Structure 1
């Protein structure tokens, strides 16, 4: 179980919150997280790279010059891989990079990654409730009030992000906003700080606390 201090929009302590999730054993946690990250990054690859073999390159049906008497090496086609514009040997072809990982392992890896970042977690009460219109500087000021230095890579997790919050955050290069039901291992481990709303924390406990 992880106990967190809840802060209000002004950065003052507003209560306590807890997160109780089952995580992987310490001996196997590192390997589990590594496989989960590799799988996620592999699934992000398009796999559309394609090169032409000598059978697919256009032309080359006629022998470029006679077999003997030229003093040059014999050639049967201008599309040989030895010539410019020819086919590619063992070049890339469209493929899938998907890796298998069962659902229980994926959920366990996600819970383990989240709990491992407990010391870098900031829980906020009523995130963005005071914002009536999009204001990026208000988000920047709030991060500073929560003791998050400027330029820190932040993952912002909300239950149901409003358009006002989305527009306020989208110009911040180091702040990434995701919904509580879109958690992934890479983003949890890649960010330096995690900022969660109370509602998002409750949603995470509801979704991932049953296993």
Structure 2
């Protein structure tokens, strides 16, 4: 499948880019997308939540009142969960939320996500570009020229480019990644995916290993 290559002013360069059919034109597997997005979100959780339980509370172990004759229930420790300042019953403990997912399933998920974007005409190919100095205004001008200033966009570069990356950091409507950082979640989370010419070959190579 061939698409027109645009420059950063939104005009056609006269060149065509080849989008590999085995990456951008497959039958999307929605379950694979679900599994990969679920794993990505699970990996964002730190799992450092912790509440002190009865044995971890600092406090006296003295029996706080006599066993009988008070007219109230027995109580043996001020650290009991029924008292204010006591330990928490079944409180959260540190947990590892990471999940395992087969590499082939992850590749299928990314191919499916890119194919869905392709079907929705939400993929734009631009020539490789850079800025002399990092400047948010220049980055926004590129998005405006492509008609994407009001859309959540994902810009995929062929290799790390600090001037483009730093120019995008203050703009919440777009994210810049390299082809090796591409994930199913980021593709699905964007309204439009902008691929540079340099990223196309890397994407095909990564997803067809």
Instruction: Tell me how far 1:135 sits from its aligned partner.
Output: 2.3
CA distance in 2, matches of 1:134, 1:97: 37
After superposition, residues 147-158 of structure 1 pair within 5 angstroms as 147-148=147-148, 150-158=149-157
Cross-structure match for 1:165: 164
CA distance in 1, matches of 2:172, 2:27: 35
Instruction: Tell me how far 1:59 sits from its aligned partner.
Output: 2.1
RMSD after superposition: 1.7
CA distance in 1, matches of 2:145, 2:186: 23
Label 1:169 to 1:4 Cα distance change in 2 as closer, same or farther (>3 A). Answer: same
CA distance in 1, matches of 2:123, 2:144: 14
Is the Cα–Cα contact under 8 Å of residues 27 and 112 in structure 2 kept in the other structure? no
Aligned to 1:81, the other structure's residue is in SS state coil
Is the Cα–Cα contact under 8 Å of residues 156 and 176 in structure 1 kept in the other structure? yes
Aligned to 2:154, the other structure's residue is in SS state strand
Cross-structure match for 2:179: 180
Cross-structure match for 1:203: 202
Flag as ranges the 4+ runs of structure 1 deviating above 4 A: 22-26
Aligned to 2:56, the other structure's residue is in SS state coil
Cross-structure match for 1:127: 129
Unpaired runs of at least 5, structure 1:
none
Instruction: Tell me how far 1:7 sits from its aligned partner.
Output: 0.4
Aligned to 2:2, the other structure's residue is in SS state strand
After superposition, residues 34-53 of structure 1 pair within 5 angstroms as 34-53=34-53
Is the Cα–Cα contact under 8 Å of residues 152 and 173 in structure 2 kept in the other structure? yes
Instruction: Tell me how far 1:208 sits from its aligned partner.
Output: 1.6
CA distance in 1, matches of 2:207, 2:19: 10
Instruction: Tell me how far 1:174 sits from its aligned partner.
Output: 1.2
Unpaired runs of at least 5, structure 2:
none
Instruction: Tell me how far 1:60 sits from its aligned partner.
Output: 4.0
TM-score, scaled to structure 2 = 0.90
After superposition, residues 83-94 of structure 1 pair within 5 angstroms as 83-94=83-94
1:9 equivalenced with 2:11 (yes/no): no
CA distance in 2, matches of 1:126, 1:32: 31
Cross-structure match for 1:141: 141
* Residues 157-177 of structure 1 deviation map (CA, whole Å, 9 limit, x = unaligned): 101232221221111111111
TM-score, scaled to structure 1 = 0.89
Is the Cα–Cα contact under 8 Å of residues 4 and 18 in structure 1 kept in the other structure? yes
Instruction: Tell me how far 1:25 sits from its aligned partner.
Output: 4.4
Is the Cα–Cα contact under 8 Å of residues 61 and 77 in structure 2 kept in the other structure? yes
Is the Cα–Cα contact under 8 Å of residues 154 and 192 in structure 2 kept in the other structure? yes
CA distance in 1, matches of 2:27, 2:114: 14
Is the Cα–Cα contact under 8 Å of residues 24 and 109 in structure 1 kept in the other structure? no
Tell me how many residue pairs correspond in the alignment: 204
Aligned to 1:88, the other structure's residue is in SS state coil
CA distance in 2, matches of 1:89, 1:183: 42
